Structure 1
Amino acid sequence: MRRERLSYLQIHPKDNVLVALRDLPQGFVVEFEGKQFALRDAVAAKHKFTIWPLEKDADILMYGVLVGRMNDAVAEGVLITTENLRHASDDFKLGNRKLDWVKPDVFAFVGRTFNGFHRSNGTVGTANHWLVIPLVFCENRNVLTLKSALEEKLGYQVESKDYSDEVDVLIAKYQDGASIDELMGVDLSSAKANKQQKRLFPNVDGVKFLNHDMGCGGTRMDSDALCGLLAGYIAHPNVAGATVLSLGCQHAQASILRNEIAKRDPNFDKPLYIFEQQFEGTEQELMQKAIKATFAGLTQANALTRQPATLDKLCIGLECGGSDGFSGISANPALGYLSDMLVTLGGSVILAEFPELCGVEQKLSDRCIDEATAEKFMHLMKTYNAKAEADGSGFYMNPSPGNIRDGLITDAIKSAGAAKKGGTSPVAAVIDYPELANGPGLNLLCTPGNDVESTTAEVAAGANIVLFTTGLGTPTGNPVTPVIKLSTNTKTFEKMPDIIDINCGTIIDGEETIEEAAHRILEYVIQVASGEIVPKSVRLGQDDFIPWRRGVSL
């Protein structure tokens, strides 16, 4: 049922700014708490304006927390900008446990199942992939050679157009003597679509060929972390097995990889083939062995079929990228409600992006189940920020130009909205990168705010679905875990329908509540987890994979 669309919103009763929900002209009359005032500036949708006069250095509160301080004294009805507001956030310390929370009504989902791939260790995959990965960047070319040999023949080329037909049209026009203006005006809409070859192994969702620039030449900490990350992917419930290419002399040794796999799955029994080029000798010998092993592994993976699994087998990664001023009041709180629903059902969720938790550390640490967990979270936050500041780029420099343009003026504003994805349940565990984080309940995982690095880490930590909110439009995906995109506003959803799956702008438009949106999203998740719906990022072959070097990345 459609509700009246508001023009502006106070997010939390303590807030001393309002958020414009549509473009408001200069002179627009605001009615708030029994008083009226006219806007002194035009305020674009997603941006904020003052409710009453504020002195220089006055605190600005949003989401009930400190998000900045005024650089100048301002009147009421003034647009908040980077010129008149600077970043500020409250300090944090070990506090009392605040573990009381109101569990959402999950009656509609009790007893529900999804059809997934059951692994021997009790986890359940929402997909069934085979991995081909290099232990060191020296093997990237060989991985790409395997991709060239296998992908199309097995029917795993990307279903979307590769635009080579459009190039053929332009080549023909050029050869016919077309001018530059004529080339620019060519209609390419008639270029034929690519054909998808039928898959040889119908129960295998994909053969995924990963590349990276690590494994040697950096610190041992980086190479060890890489082995942990790759182990997380190999042991992942969405992965049936892997072919690993190693040079042989690099820091990231196969023995380290095997040890990291054992940490995550002591009884690991998936097919795993590791080949070292320096041992095998010629490239031909290496490639022929890798092709035979991969093909044999795919025949084993294809023997698996989807079977019913309860929703507590879901581990959902929560991510945001290309955020805007609506992120914290539409898509992110909808994911927060869904997060609480899944925790109530016995499932697990992962909230990452530690630079985007700046300003809400106290609330999150107070929600940790015990003091040791809270202290671990605070230590990771302080250490990370100190490293960033030592390199001349603290958390306060996190917002991108796009974030700022669309209303996220300070890092604390961005963070307070981003943290809404984590709902209200207690924090069950705090996990450092690249460890496993799929225990039941809400897990905090230390990662950068960088979309791809964070998504890459969440999947290594066990996420078998990733929910990714975006206000500006971000095409991020993952090689093995379905990434579902949710727009924070209807305009972006309608403008970029090829990369976004779900519109949460309906909340802003007054078409549904946060709770209703969360129910709709969870229904979609169940269909994706069952293989009934293929998200846009998967259709586009958006297989983004970037390991995190434990340096500064915001």
Structure 2
Amino acid sequence: MCITWKANEEEVISLANQPEPTFWGYRRPDGRVGVRNHVLILPTITCATQAAKQITELVQGTVSFIHQHGCAQVGVDYEQTFRTYVGMGTNPNVYGVVVLGLGCETHQARSVAGEIAKSGKPVELVSIQDHGGTLSAIAQGAKIAAQMVQDASELMREPFPFSELIVGTECGGSDACSGLSANPAVGFVSDRIVDCGGTSILAETTELIGAEHLLANRAVDDKVAKRVYEVIQAMENRAFTMGVDIRTGNPSPGNIRGGLSSLEEKSLGAANKAGTRPLQELIDYAERPTRKGLVWMDTPGHDIEQLTGMVAGGAQIVLFTTGRGTPTGSPIAPTIKISTNSAIFNKMRENIDINAGTIIEGTETIDSVGQRIMDQIAKVCSGKLTKAEILKQHDFGIWRIGPTF
């Protein structure tokens, strides 16, 4: 059974007899559909992050993030950070953007604002240097943001099919139960999303090392299969340059305490999030998918960096499994936390939305838990808040692939 939560949250409508599940969202000027209606205060340089934070404290309905990027970056590292900024601003969960810059940084706020504006959404530019300092820039940014929030509040949710969704999948703080419960349940959901005509993103390249052959065998063509091995090799080579053979290394201390003995063991469990459908393409970090279906985004294993990459790539919602427990969330996309065991669910109820430990206990099947996740997606995409949203867990981090100059 699939359900959808009405925009006014007064009733839950069963869609068991409907051909396709739906949710209530917002149509954007570029045709994509958002599940949230944020006004984003986007700092393009670390020097502007505190001013951006103060604007969000002044204006309800705005979100922002703290980061250390935006200057002294060159080449592909510069391009990747720029792509991430633009992707966050163009994510369909964002109604409008106030781009806040310093003025002398490498990542010029004007360039970022110009690219975001191509999506057709409201975009305004504020420069700390041009506006005479921090206080003046905060005042101007808050004034613009307040009007955007009021304009955004006039929009009404409409029903949309799941084919409009890009769902990010992630696992962090894994344990021995991850590959047996929560990850296969997310794999069930991934297949359902794909079958509905939507897109499911698999990430965490480092945590697919040892399972790459399974995904290559599911590639839609030889080009995609070749690309699978190329990104795995590139990730291993990065580790080699630091004198580390990542393939023979152990997982993190938390993973080890959770019962995982090797990277391959963790990877085989993590790959279950991809379900069983063909792999359509393999995209770069923070890049928007060009095909529907199962997509692999090349990201590191760092939870916040991979989450940021998927959201910058257009994911409106993220499914995050955990066996050890983690509060990670996004300022842009609601993140549904799914525990792999009942012990961590009971211990961290304030952070975790769904318990998949019932699979381990034998009281539920992978399919039944997967269906519960589908139902939760419909509710959250229609306005229900996740635990991470309630706690304002606005994590953000960009994968740096070059030195700072």
Tell me which of 264, 281, 296 is aligned to 1:412.
Answer: 264
Aligned position for 1:497: 349
Q: CA deviation at 1:260?
A: 4.7
The structure that is helix-richer by fraction is 2
Tell me which of 35, 48, 54 is aligned to 1:145.
Answer: 54
Aligned position for 2:43: 134
* 1:399–1:410 contact (8 Å) kept in structure 2: yes
Aligned position for 1:252: 107
Instruction: Output aligned runs, 1:265-344, within 5 Å.
Output: 267-344=118-195
* 1:331–1:505 contact (8 Å) kept in structure 2: yes
Q: CA deviation at 1:107?
A: 7.4
The residue type paired with residue 39 of structure 2 is W
Instruction: Output aligned runs, 1:130-529, within 5 Å.
Output: 130-150=39-59, 154=60, 206-258=61-113, 260-261=115-116, 267-396=118-247, 397=249, 399-437=251-289, 439-529=291-381
Q: CA deviation at 1:534?
A: 1.5
* 2:113–2:124 contact (8 Å) kept in structure 1: no
Distance in 2, Cα, partners of 1:268 & 1:149: 27
Distance in 2, Cα, partners of 1:444 & 1:130: 29
Distance in 1, Cα, partners of 2:265 & 2:16: 34
The residue type paired with residue 187 of structure 2 is G
Q: Which range moved further: 326-335 or 356-365?
A: 356-365
Aligned position for 2:3: none
Aligned position for 2:5: none
Q: Which of the two has higher C-alpha Rg? A: 1
Q: Which range moved further: 123-132 or 212-221?
A: 212-221
Q: CA deviation at 1:248?
A: 1.6
* 1:459–1:481 contact (8 Å) kept in structure 2: yes
Q: 1:448 to 1:551 in 2, by over 3 A?
A: farther
- Could you say what secondary structure the match of 1:132 adopts? strand
* TM-score when normalising by structure 2: 0.91
Tell me which of 22, 34, 38 is aligned to 1:125.
Answer: 34
Distance in 2, Cα, partners of 1:383 & 1:139: 33
Q: CA deviation at 1:305?
A: 1.4
The residue type paired with residue 326 of structure 2 is T
Q: CA deviation at 1:438?
A: 6.5
Q: 1:349 to 1:438 in 2, by over 3 A?
A: farther
* Alignment gaps of 5+ in structure 1: 1-105, 155-205
Distance in 2, Cα, partners of 1:529 & 1:459: 14
Q: CA deviation at 1:220?
A: 4.1
The residue type paired with residue 271 of structure 1 is P
The residue type paired with residue 472 of structure 1 is R
The residue type paired with residue 249 of structure 1 is C
Q: Which range moved further: 518-527 or 250-259?
A: 250-259
Q: Deviations over 1:520-542 (max 9, x none)?
A: 110111111111x3111111111
Distance in 1, Cα, partners of 2:290 & 2:344: 32
* Alignment gaps of 5+ in structure 2: 1-14
Q: CA deviation at 1:108?
A: 5.8
- Could you say what secondary structure the match of 1:216 adopts? coil
Q: CA deviation at 1:375?
A: 1.9
- Could you say what secondary structure the match of 2:280 adopts? strand
Distance in 2, Cα, partners of 1:483 & 1:442: 19
Q: Over aligned residue pairs, what C-alpha RMSD do you find?
A: 1.9
- Could you say what secondary structure the match of 1:443 adopts? strand
* 1:220–1:251 contact (8 Å) kept in structure 2: no
* TM-score when normalising by structure 1: 0.67
Q: 1:113 to 1:544 in 2, by over 3 A?
A: same
Q: 1:402 to 1:109 in 2, by over 3 A?
A: farther
Q: CA deviation at 1:551?
A: 5.4
- Could you say what secondary structure the match of 1:280 adopts? coil
Distance in 1, Cα, partners of 2:333 & 2:133: 34
Q: Which has the higher contact order (CA 8 A, sep 6+)?
A: 2
* 1:493–1:500 contact (8 Å) kept in structure 2: yes
Distance in 2, Cα, partners of 1:471 & 1:108: 34
Q: Deviations over 1:153-200 (max 9, x none)?
A: x3xxxxxxxxxxxxxxxxxxxxxxxxxxxxxxxxxxxxxxxxxxxxxx
* 1:321–1:468 contact (8 Å) kept in structure 2: yes
Q: Which range moved further: 113-122 or 220-229?
A: 220-229
Q: 1:394 to 1:273 in 2, by over 3 A?
A: farther
Distance in 2, Cα, partners of 1:534 & 1:344: 26
Distance in 1, Cα, partners of 2:72 & 2:96: 28
The residue type paired with residue 233 of structure 1 is M
Distance in 2, Cα, partners of 1:498 & 1:437: 33
Distance in 2, Cα, partners of 1:109 & 1:391: 54
Distance in 2, Cα, partners of 1:509 & 1:108: 30
* 1:110–1:345 contact (8 Å) kept in structure 2: no
* 2:336–2:353 contact (8 Å) kept in structure 1: yes
- Could you say what secondary structure the match of 2:319 adopts? strand
Aligned position for 1:544: 395
Q: 1:466 to 1:291 in 2, by over 3 A?
A: same
Instruction: Output aligned runs, 1:32-111, within 5 Å.
Output: 110-111=19-20
Q: CA deviation at 1:393?
A: 2.9
Distance in 2, Cα, partners of 1:367 & 1:521: 24
Count of residues in Structure 1 that have an aligned counterpart in Structure 2: 388
